[in-house]
Structure 1
Amino acid sequence: MTGNDSAVELLNSRMKGFLGNRLKWKSLNPIQEQAIPVIKEKNDTLVIAPTASGKTEAVLIPIFDDIITNHLEPVSVIYVSPLKALINDMHERIENWCNHFNLEVTKWHGDVPGTKKRAFIKNPTDILLITPESLEVIFMNKSSEEKERIFKNVKYVIVDEIHYFVESDRGTQLNSIINRMKAYFNDSVSIVGLSATVGNPETVSKWLNPDKPAKIVTDPSKRPFDYKVLCGSDTDICEVLKRYVGRKILIFVHSRKDAERYYNLLKRALKIKNIYIHHSSIDRDEREDSEKKFKHLKDGFMISTSTLELGIDIGNIDIVVQIRPTYNVSSFLQRVGRSGRKSKKQRSIVFYKWDEEIFITLAEIGLISENRIEDIKIPEKPKDIYFHQMLSSIFEKGKIKQSELFNSLKDSYVFSKITKEDFKSIVENMEEREFVHNMNGNLSLGYNFEKKFGKRNFMSFYSVFCPNMEYTVREGVKNIGSLDLLFVVHFLQEGTKFILGGVPWIVKDIDHKRFNVKVQRGPKGNVPDWISEGAVVDHLISRRIYEILLGNYDEDLLKTFDEPSQDKIHEYIEHADSVGFKEGIIPVEIDSNQVYIYTFGGLKANALLSTIFRLYHDIYEVKDNAYFSSFKFRENLSFNMIQEVMANIKDVLNEPEIDTIIHEKSGKFVKNKFINYLPYEDNAKLKMELLYSPEDLIKLVSENSVELIGSTNFKDWR
């Protein structure tokens, strides 16, 4: 493998031989050409490139090259991944490289036998693949000597699928752990993040290194993106997919129930042999077996929930089919990016069911064409995870000075805005609750730490976070699907009826500690109180849909939409104009005693808006979605009264009563077990950040006037 003026010339001859002779590569991919020189210069680096673009190899090539050229001692690389399945997949890929170079790799997560972990502790390998929770276990359970043996020679920390981590509790935990690891490093370490989708890479680069933000490397090549958008009845879907038998197709659905239904439907209708199913309720071994078989097939169908959105290698995909669109641009890109590895062309077919899904799809495609993705939002002061990391650090050290503890945590980007006053307040609260004992400024663990988290409860201390803030829906012991956190907290309570997977359900119980919703089937023909798949369309897509309704979009994007969807789009645009939709306003419709406030601001903004109205007016039967905030009122609620509330949103959000409302509204929802150990004000603020979008709502009411309009068809949107 050669290449003048190419990054390949920077590589060791053994690495060149491996790429050319073993992998049969003739040249490097564009992202590899960009990333290799940056990583070889030992920069902290954020690599952003589509799925199947070669970004993983773009990181592995310079790192393996460094290991074999400079004979790095174990452990030289720690590779952190969010999911066990990704670690298992990556272990197989890296092991092939290691075997060639006479190196060793170890995977460490909850399913790995203790014997293998103990063997690693005694004789660390060159590369360690691990989850954040397992790193926490090492910090708390291993001696200083063992931790030094593991971490002292580390030269690289790789964070895979970094977008999945950064704005979550697990990401906050990981950022802190990476900072804590530095105490054991002998030399400087390069931290490398990988992602297919990041809307605000500058923020993520600071997450990797707040003092000297990571270098951002993006894929300069643009794989063409072909798509079709079609009406999606079961009959339509079967008819269309018949044409693609003999190709390799990945089909995404919204729920486990839909995965099972379409697996059986397509198997019968298309009479194909190579058809597989993939979701989180399937046994792990069976799931991995399906991945391996499908990976090596030249043709076949794989039906999956979001479990195959991330980078598990299932080979070259010809077309990605989406039965119902996803609800954010990032997921859309993750899915579509799985296609076209060989052809260099991404291809997708999107089937829609409801009218609004045509607009969601058009909004996503338009945003992709403009390279716009949702921003990752990192909590400003995540004091619940700070509380957790304080206890973990005290456990690790046995006893630690307050000043040392504060200084050791403040270097983490995620904790950099937490002040000494914040720290002292949390310590005082910990003392009152007997989680810590304070002797002349030296902190040690108190009685209630052992009581709450000791012995068998330690595992719940290591892993306390819901990874993607979704609730699992269960009928008895059977998993039905999942619902977004905000949907559950805002809309569901015992007795609420809703639809999931096309089936009506009634809520029996909500377990906020385990993120479970227990349900039973509703009566046949039952009309639900709230019809939804429990997903949340965010602010970016919602606002783009409003722009489309005003006619502000590229008509060329509609060329591959089927005729019914094009007609629907034009009909709604004409309707929006006729009822009074226009730029610079928030339309309001009053229908008898029902109000519809069409913010098109996303569910989090609209849920907050209805919550604010509850402060001042007697409202009930709240039915918010991404497009409007809607409720009924018992009093005479005039348009002027609505205008008055909307004009004072910013002031209202500064009033102390809003904290009480948030606590009442969120009910027993706990986010994680540590949030309820915080002072009242901190607890309320964290719940506000997670459940609502005050910034989006304030921006909307500041930039738009409120106008009364005529009766619309949009109130039927879900």
Structure 2
Amino acid sequence: MSRNNAFHLLARPIQQKLWDMKWPSLRPIQEDAIVAIQQGQADVIISAATAAGKTEAAFLPILSQIHESPANSVQAMYVGPLKALINDQFSRLESLCERADIPVHRWHGDVDMGARKRLMEKPSGVLLITPESIEALMINRSTRLPDVFRGLRFVVIDEIHALIGSVRGTHLRSLLFRLRRFTQQDFRVVGLSATLGDAFPDYAKWLCPDKDREVTLISGRDEGKKLLYKVHAYTVSRPKQGDSGDQSEEAAHVLETISSDMFRHFAGHKNLIFANRKSDVEWFADGLNSRCRKENRPEEFLVHHGSLSKEIREFTEQEMQGSRPRTTLCSSTLELGIDIGNVRAVGQIDPPWSVNSLVQRLGRSGRKDDEAQRMRLYVREDEIDEQSDLVDRLHLDLLQAIALSELLLSNPRWVEPPMLTSWDLSTLTQQVLSVLAETGGCQAATVFDRLCRSGAFRSVTPQAFTELLRSLGTREIIEQMPQGDLILAPKGEAIAGHYSFYSAFEAAIEFTVIAGSETIGRLPVGALPQIDDHFLLAGRRWQVVTIDEEQKVVVARPSPGKMPPKFLPGGGEIHPRVREMMRDILLSQKQLPYLDTTANQLLQSARTAGVQRGITKSCVVKLGPRLHLWFTWTGTRIQQTIFFIAASLGLRPVDHRVALELPCSPEDALERFRQYLQSNPDPIELAREIPAKQIGKFDNLIDESLLIESIARDRLDLEGACLLMRKLLSDACK
């Protein structure tokens, strides 16, 4: 059937709701999705820009099927990565469902017990839930799962690109495979994403590893929106020896300059400004509101990040939906599709880690059909002086910002494909304990079948799984009954019974910050201010009154002093294509019209330094008789692998992101790399050399021999590293 007839495939109450909403027509992706879901049996991935109507594209046909064939169970489950996103979608779906009289439920940590009880007693309609809450249901409501999910027909995964390739994604995938044994029919999966790129085959494999069902891709058209884009650069003087840890007057002046530019660019409108560090969110929000006070205008700059209280985050979201001019400085918490109304422009403080993030953030602006998308990047670079080394002179943050921009602006646009893990033994360990908690105990073969042979961990061999069970038995986490069933030992029961178990990733230990009766947010235990110290949080200034170590509480009061809070460092994995683009930009003479004057000057300075030191001719630059740089220009994983190889060869490398500093002659390094390549490199042997082996939340429960094999599979890219070393050797022979 053609897409022109898609509207007539919808149930009558759903059609009437669209008339109520005065929709003039369906969008192309909605028409395509209606036909695919109503008339096909394939799983579906809908890829389109933010605000393109992906949620409606998925749910219009799903709700039509629920209306036409109701059941006494949940029939559609929406999985969202954020509670705020679930709350936002809950309101939208309730509105869509009102004429069809389809119940909509939500389940996460902030939902009251009464609502949960009603769902358990009378399961129906649509359920909105997080991966962690599915885990909690598996453990705490296992006897009710057959009734709750018997008629489940659809699972909608929102922001699927934010889950696939991550610990949470592996966790969710395992839970969905486990959920299938409670359903009468195999449910279909609909994934929603704003950034898919060329990675559809990876997503299809993630959804259907057995290829027992087709996966259909529905892509939104390029709307040809006008894009207004600018990169602003600033130079910051580096602290000199003997300086205190406080910012110098010159550095403070640079921050004031950036704040002034932001104020000029964003004040008086509704915008978002993203930052990689929460401390930057707090610092710039304070500076911008100080500027508001100086000009006798209302404070209009808000904050939003994961360390703030739920009440403050919700206040910010509500204010952004209002009519007053508001700009929110935020971390990645507002990168995903939470509805905050129409945003005029987006800012970004320092370059993000991926094109994926840049696309998501840019997509928050220009949501109306006649509006342009607007984005400004603010990049800080160290000022060059006599102490600056060659890598400093290349201005890597600016190069990264430009590389991401070029890939963002390319046609067709490139985004990073997901990096799928092979084993992820930490999450597998959590799932073993979860299955035993759910069932009360079962045979090892049954656990292996549910999690590995027919589950999310298909690359884990029976031998490795047996070794994992032995690890857990040795640590008295599980035990085996005389008849052969595995059960949780008391230590395992304590782990699975704690609320933190529902999450497969490690959460930092944090102290709650309160002022009077108000909860402000949280600060990490490793970076707490001391009594009488000043700090910024929630865009306001505070002073520490007392610290309760036992209750993990910081009591604060308002104060005129300020210091940016210290949060744990964040970071992401950079794809090799981004680093290659950084090199290409450095080696070219291409003029980039979206750079401001300072950014242009810094780029030209970096290019001049590259020519003067011979980077344009060779990837090896001698710094002294027994010191040189090898410019790798590769991604994080390959760079780390080469670093560990060099360390294992006794070369004492120093990682400079795009280069390795080696304290030896180039000839010595080349000879050692040649011998290594001839030795039939073994990733297991290399993984043994890595000092920090426990990275995952449950790695402490796993024998080191298994962790080593997991590292070799999931954290190293020996093939990519060897290819790069061979290229180095080949170039040296020319």
TM-score (norm 1): 0.82
Partner SS for 1:409: helix
Cα pair 1:256 1:481 within 8 Å, conserved: no
| Structure 1 equivalent of residue 217 of structure 2 | 216
Q: CA deviation at 1:309?
A: 0.7
Alignment of 1:664-679 (within 5 A): 664=691, 666=692, 669-673=694-698, 675-679=699-703
Q: 2:706 aligns with which of 672, 682, 704?
A: 682
Cα separation, 2, equivalents of 1:702 and 1:345 = 47
Classify 1:432/1:560 alpha carbon distance in 2 versus 1 (closer, same or farther; 3 Å): closer
452-461 or 537-546, which deviates more: 452-461
Q: CA deviation at 1:475?
A: 12
Percent of pairs identical after alignment? 27
Cα pair 1:76 1:156 within 8 Å, conserved: yes
Q: 1:362 aligns with which of 402, 409, 412?
A: 402
Partner SS for 1:415: coil
Cα pair 1:542 1:601 within 8 Å, conserved: yes
| Structure 2 equivalent of residue 382 of structure 1 | 424
Alignment of 1:35-434 (within 5 A): 35-40=33-38, 41-144=40-143, 146-199=144-197, 200-210=199-209, 211=211, 212-224=213-225, 225-232=227-234, 233=254, 234-239=256-261, 241-270=263-292, 271-297=297-323, 299-342=325-368, 343=370, 345-354=372-381, 355-368=395-408, 369=410, 370-412=412-454, 414-434=456-476
Partner SS for 1:228: strand
Amino acid in the other structure paired with 1:350 = L
Cα separation, 2, equivalents of 1:589 and 1:220 = 50
Q: CA deviation at 1:349?
A: 1.1
Root mean square deviation of aligned Cα: 3.3
Cα separation, 1, equivalents of 2:27 and 2:506 = 36
Cα separation, 2, equivalents of 1:455 and 1:628 = 42
Cα separation, 1, equivalents of 2:32 and 2:728 = 43
| Structure 2 equivalent of residue 548 of structure 1 | 585
| Structure 1 equivalent of residue 656 of structure 2 | 625
Cα pair 1:263 1:275 within 8 Å, conserved: yes
Cα pair 1:75 1:154 within 8 Å, conserved: yes
| Structure 2 equivalent of residue 580 of structure 1 | 614
1:605 aligns with 2:638: yes
1:463 aligns with 2:503: yes
Amino acid in the other structure paired with 1:219 = G
| Structure 1 equivalent of residue 541 of structure 2 | none
| Structure 1 equivalent of residue 532 of structure 2 | none
Cα separation, 2, equivalents of 1:686 and 1:582 = 38
Cα separation, 2, equivalents of 1:433 and 1:298 = 58
204-213 or 239-248, which deviates more: 239-248
Q: CA deviation at 1:444?
A: 2.2
Q: CA deviation at 1:705?
A: 3.9
Amino acid in the other structure paired with 1:180 = R
Cα separation, 2, equivalents of 1:84 and 1:444 = 34
Classify 1:274/1:166 alpha carbon distance in 2 versus 1 (closer, same or farther; 3 Å): same
Amino acid in the other structure paired with 1:418 = V
1:413-442 deviations in Å (ceiling 9; x for gaps): 631222233333333444444444445773
Cα pair 1:588 1:706 within 8 Å, conserved: no
Cα separation, 1, equivalents of 2:63 and 2:615 = 58
Amino acid in the other structure paired with 2:82 = L
1:519-558 deviations in Å (ceiling 9; x for gaps): xxxxxxxxxxxxx986654422112101112218xx46x1
| Structure 1 equivalent of residue 721 of structure 2 | 697
Cα pair 1:539 1:696 within 8 Å, conserved: no
Classify 1:401/1:175 alpha carbon distance in 2 versus 1 (closer, same or farther; 3 Å): same
Alignment of 1:631-646 (within 5 A): 633=663, 637-646=664-673
455-464 or 34-43, which deviates more: 455-464
Cα separation, 2, equivalents of 1:482 and 1:592 = 45
Partner SS for 1:182: helix
Classify 1:688/1:15 alpha carbon distance in 2 versus 1 (closer, same or farther; 3 Å): same
| Structure 2 equivalent of residue 7 of structure 1 | 6
Amino acid in the other structure paired with 1:641 = D
Classify 1:285/1:351 alpha carbon distance in 2 versus 1 (closer, same or farther; 3 Å): same
Partner SS for 1:202: helix
159-168 or 423-432, which deviates more: 423-432
Amino acid in the other structure paired with 1:341 = R
Q: CA deviation at 1:691?
A: 4.8
Q: CA deviation at 1:302?
A: 1.5
1:199-220 deviations in Å (ceiling 9; x for gaps): 4221112211222352222212
Q: What are the ranges of 5 or more consecutive residues in structure 2 without an aligned counterpart?
A: 235-253, 382-394, 515-520, 528-535, 538-568
Classify 1:472/1:589 alpha carbon distance in 2 versus 1 (closer, same or farther; 3 Å): farther
Q: What are the ranges of 5 or more consecutive residues in structure 1 without an aligned counterpart?
A: 489-499, 502-531, 709-718
1:330-354 deviations in Å (ceiling 9; x for gaps): 1111100111110353221111112
Matched residue count: 642
Q: CA deviation at 1:93?
A: 2.1
Cα separation, 2, equivalents of 1:648 and 1:160 = 49
Q: CA deviation at 1:366?
A: 1.7
1:560 aligns with 2:594: yes
Cα separation, 1, equivalents of 2:262 and 2:426 = 49
Cα pair 2:628 2:661 within 8 Å, conserved: yes
Classify 1:139/1:438 alpha carbon distance in 2 versus 1 (closer, same or farther; 3 Å): same
Q: CA deviation at 1:70?
A: 3.0
Amino acid in the other structure paired with 2:195 = T
Classify 1:298/1:418 alpha carbon distance in 2 versus 1 (closer, same or farther; 3 Å): same
Amino acid in the other structure paired with 2:397 = E
| Structure 1 equivalent of residue 576 of structure 2 | 539
Cα separation, 1, equivalents of 2:136 and 2:570 = 36
Q: CA deviation at 1:76?
A: 0.8
Q: CA deviation at 1:593?
A: 5.2
Cα separation, 2, equivalents of 1:534 and 1:441 = 48
Amino acid in the other structure paired with 2:362 = V
Cα separation, 2, equivalents of 1:341 and 1:113 = 34
Cα separation, 1, equivalents of 2:510 and 2:445 = 45
Cα separation, 2, equivalents of 1:704 and 1:609 = 12
Amino acid in the other structure paired with 2:706 = D
Q: CA deviation at 1:400?
A: 2.5
Cα pair 1:612 1:658 within 8 Å, conserved: yes
Q: CA deviation at 1:178?
A: 0.5
Cα pair 2:10 2:64 within 8 Å, conserved: yes
Classify 1:312/1:475 alpha carbon distance in 2 versus 1 (closer, same or farther; 3 Å): closer
| Structure 2 equivalent of residue 442 of structure 1 | 484
Cα pair 1:379 1:414 within 8 Å, conserved: no
Cα separation, 1, equivalents of 2:130 and 2:686 = 37
Partner SS for 2:184: coil
Amino acid in the other structure paired with 2:655 = D
